[in-house]
Amino acid sequence: MGIKGAVEKKLVGLADIVIRAAERGKDPSISIPVRALSNVKFNESKGIIEMGKNRQARTFFNVGMAKKFMQTMLVGDALAELQRADLTTSLREIYYRAKHTISDSHENTFDAQNESDPLIEDLEVALEALREELHVRAENAGTVIGPLVVEDDGDRVDCSRLGKGGYSVPSIVEPEYIQIKKCAADFVLLVEKGTQWNRLAEDKFWKKYNCVLLTGNGQPPRGVRRLARRLHEEKRLPVYVLVDNDPWGYYIYSVVKQGSINLAFESQRMAIPKAKFIGLSSEDPQTCGLPRNVGIKLNEKDISRAKELLNYRWFQKKEWQKEIKRMLSSGLKYELDALANKDFQYLTKKYLPKKLKDQDWLD
Amino acid sequence: MGIKGAVEKKLVGLADIVIRAAERGKDPSISIPVRALSNVKFNESKGIIEMGKNRQARTFFNVGMAKKFMQTMLVGDALAELQRADLTTSLREIYYRAKHTISDSHENTFDAQNESDPLIEDLEVALEALREELHVRAENAGTVIGPLVVEDDGDRVDCSRLGKGGYSVPSIVEPEYIQIKKCAADFVLLVEKGTQWNRLAEDKFWKKYNCVLLTGNGQPPRGVRRLARRLHEEKRLPVYVLVDNDPWGYYIYSVVKQGSINLAFESQRMAIPKAKFIGLSSEDPQTCGLPRNVGIKLNEKDISRAKELLNYRWFQKKEWQKEIKRMLSSGLKYELDALANKDFQYLTKKYLPKKLKDQDWLD
């Protein structure tokens, strides 16, 4: 039985709970891990953010839970339909699919999508199935180029033969859909900004430095993170994360590395604890000789965010404390784009080659 | 001389104006078409929004214009550098590149990107060169799949052999960079939402209906619009636009068709006056038997936007007035996602096949 059969079985299992309870005249109940900050912890030895063991029963014979129980079953039913028909869909369409007016009433099963989304997350953790395995996707939101061959729906896609445009990374890149056939690269460079990815693609950086270039145009979406993780895991490739020097850059890096607090459950299959931060670091502007006038003054939000990061368990390493404090004391943040002040190709011709040669990254 | 040489020559021409004026002891001056609503008109016969003929002189010996004149030259210089080095870059990097402190002062040439962006637009219209021809790009922001072969940087990219993922559409798809080698499709379907594009890709809609599937994940970016326009022009393909039934869907359609007021200059090479609106129309929810509870109540912003559209010259056709008024009188807008209420594949198996068969679109 493949993933598909296994997930369908888990979903059908939900209905079985209700049937069994009904047969015995009992209150049907499902046990759902608690998705709250109180049930999240940083696993120091694994280097990832994990969910704890707290669970909560969701029962039907309970005025406060009856509607949510019913809604959970409706979402489970829509998800089972996806499995049976071998389809994927969006969070929004699941909301629409599960929405109807309860007969002999004016009551809707769902009034807004913010009622169905959390239930999908509940089912992910309760059934221990990634959202992708539940066949829930977003739009394509990333691009990849480099010495990588994947198989997608029977097509052999050679990402080194797609010009400067590249392969559009689907939201779901699970092995059920995308198979990594070959990857001759030495590392993965995960680039925050799409425009910098274009600089690297245009300069054929991936060819010269034998790497896979990956971007998600900002905070990397799940598909991009999963692809990086799979390349790391299946092909043993180091992953370097290229972001701006600001608290949001640090944060993007930390989500790639340790996972996020909100989606702690995903970390075990999304996080890349060995990912390295290849900058921009708060030391780089000086090293590169960037003028201060291309720095941007930290605003209050930046400062309070940076102070928050200083307290996170996963930023306790000496180098990271130094990195963040140096940014705070300089009062400036720098975008990678600012390297263009030196030269349009400074990033590809000077900055990255030196970083790679010197292995100058933060862990 | 190719486009590249021609654009470089135009940019160098800017510097020549200054040199010639200096030699003659005159005030250097460049003539720039006025980019304002007052200088925009709808060309009824061409069916596109165009710029008028008003121009304004930008001179150096004028206290109010001297800084802007200097900045225009700096931006022109950065753009000329791109041409000479055969590089493309982002608006943001041009800002950084052109930024420096004027010697013996604390004055910056530019303080923020909102000072350089409009100057790039000024140069576009003054030099009659599309932003893309000036080598200014954004990130990749679209996806295409279907019976289309393009050449990108020497690679032959067959968009019918890229699984369900597809080719990531670059920001610049000018013939200088992307050549359309072959296109056996009967039409182009330009899909507003990425998740609907995924539904169509997953169901191999492009294969069954022999079309190119294109999306820009929302309001289509310039690269996606240019690619649709080129397929329309070079391969004589009709373009059908698939959007939500709300004022924003109408607007997206109208920008694809007539161009936008803000970028009236681009219309001549971006607009597709023969593009058709394939829905969702305000009649469709009833035709498809969608329950009213999957409609979304129009808010004040929707209503005032729809009333604005009713007054636009390009929405004066009887069918369009009827379409918009019907939405207003129903008080509801509908997303394409709502079709999932019927069936996850309603869009691909029922809605679009019927629309295409009946040629049921708005012009």
Please report, for chain B, the start and end positions of each structural domain, with discontinuous segments joined by +: 3-27+62-127, 143-358
In chain A, which residue's Cα lies nearest the Cα of B160?
A: A155
Task: Quote the pLDDT of residue B188.
Answer: 98
Which residues have CB under 8 Å from A362's CB, separation 6+? A276, A277, A281, A319, A320, A323
The CATH class that applies to domain A143-357 reads alpha beta
Helix (H), strand (E), coil (C) string for A261-319: CCCHHHHHHHCCCCCEECCCCCCHHHHCCCCHHHCEECCHHHHHHHHHHHHCHHHCCHH
Q: Give the per-residue pLDDT at B103.
A: 87
List, in sequence order, every residue forming a beta bridge with A334; answer none if it has no partner.
A245
Instruction: Name the residue type at position B13.
Output: G
Exposure class string for B337-348: b at 16+ Cβ within 10 A, else e: bbbbbbebbbbb
- At residue A136, what are phi and psi to the nearest 5 degrees? -105, 125
Give mean pLDDT, residues B338-363: 97
For residue A182, which amino acid is it?
K
Phi and psi angles of residue B292, each rounded to the nearest 5 degrees, phi first: -60, -25
For B165, the token pair is 């993922």
Angle at A199 between CA A197 and CA A201, to 5 degrees: 65
A92 with B195: CB under 8 angstroms? yes
* Percent of chain B's residues with pLDDT above 90: 95
- What pLDDT, on the 0 to 100 scale, is given for residue B2? 66
The secondary element (H helix, E strand) that includes residue A58 is strand A55-59
Contact A168/B167 with Cβ under 8 angstroms?
yes
Nearest chain A residue to B161 by CA distance is A155
How far is C-alpha A272 from the geometric centre of its chain's CA atoms? 10
Question: What stretch of H or E contains A187?
Answer: strand A187-191
Residue B202 in contact with partner chain A when CB distance is under 8 A: yes
Q: Domain spanning B143-358: which CATH class is it, in words?
A: alpha beta
pLDDT tens per residue, chain A (363 residues)?
Answer: 566 789 999 999 999 999 999 999 999 999 999 998 899 999 999 999 999 999 999 999 988 899 999 999 999 999 999 999 999 999 999 999 999 998 888 899 999 999 999 999 999 999 999 999 999 999 999 999 999 999 999 999 999 999 999 999 999 999 999 999 999 999 999 999 999 999 999 999 999 999 999 999 999 999 999 999 999 999 999 999 999 999 999 999 999 999 998 889 999 999 999 999 999 999 999 999 999 999 999 999 999 999 999 999 999 999 999 999 999 999 999 999 999 999 999 999 999 999 999 999 999
Report yes or no: B215 at the A interface, CB cutoff 8 Å.
yes
Q: Tell me, what's the pLDDT at A1?
A: 53
Taking every pair of Cα atoms in chain A, the longest distance, rounded to a whole number of angstroms, is 75
**Considering only CA atoms, which of B166, B163, B309, B162 is closest in space to residue B224?**
B166
Q: Which of A181, A176, A206, A178 is nearest to A191 (CA)?
A: A206
Q: Which CATH number fits domain A3-27+62-127: 1.50.10.10, 1.10.10.10, 3.40.640.10, 1.20.120.1200?
A: 1.10.10.10
Partners of B276 in the β-ladder = B240
Contact B293 A178 (CB under 8 A): no
Say yes or no to pLDDT of B4 above 80: no
Beta-carbon separation of B162 and A163 below 8 A:
no
Confidence (pTM): 0.96
Q: Alpha-carbon distance B116 to A186, whole Å? A: 39
Q: CA A345, CA B93: separation in Å to the nearest integer?
A: 11
Give the end-to-end CA distance of chain A in Å, rounded to a whole number.
39
The tens digit of pLDDT for each residue in B55-79 reads 999 999 988 899 999 999 999 999 9
Please judge whether A337 and B93 are an interchain contact, meaning their C-beta atoms are less than 8 angstroms apart.
yes
B113 touches A: beta carbon within 8 Å: no
Sign of the dihedral through C-alpha A318, A320, A321, A326? positive
- Which tokens hold the place of A242? 């290229």
pLDDT at A10: 96
Q: What is the mean pLDDT of residues B225-232?
A: 98
DSSP A121: H
Task: Phi first, then psi: give them for residue B189, nearest 5 degrees.
Answer: -110, 115
Please give the Cα distance from B251 to B314 (Å, whole number): 11
CB atoms inside a 10 Å sphere around CB A103: 6
Chain length of chain A: 363
Between CA B345 and CA B339 the distance in angstroms is 8
Report in angstroms the alpha-carbon separations of A164 from A161, A202, A229, A237, B227: 9, 6, 23, 22, 15
Q: CA-nearest residue of chain B to A108? A: B293
Question: In B, residues 161-190, which contact A (CB 8 Å cutoff)?
Answer: 161-171, 177-178
Residues in chain A closer than 8 A to B151 (CB atoms): 163
**What are the pLDDT digits (tens) for A243-276?**
999 999 999 999 999 999 888 999 999 999 999 9
Q: What is the pLDDT of residue A103?
A: 87
Q: What separation in angstroms does the CA of A35 have from each of A40, A51, A52, A118, A252?
A: 8, 8, 9, 10, 21
Half-sphere exposure of B209 (CA within 13 A, CB side): 23
- pLDDT tens-digit profile of B96-142? 999 999 888 889 999 999 999 999 999 999 999 999 999 999 999 99
Determine whether B96 is an active site residue. yes
Are the Cβ atoms of B167 and A164 closer than 8 angstroms?
no
Q: Which of B88, B138, B340 is nearest residue A96 as measured by Cβ atoms? A: B340
Give B357→chain A minimum CA distance, Å: 25
Residue A2's pLDDT is: 67
pLDDT of residue A5: 87
Q: How far apart are CA B264 and CA B258, in angstroms?
A: 9
| Residue B194 to residue A93, Cβ atoms within 8 A | no
CB contact under 8 A, B93 and A340: yes
Task: Catalytic residue, from A96, A250, A253, A346: name it.
Answer: A96
- Please confirm whether the linkage preceding B237 is cis (ω < 30° from 0): no
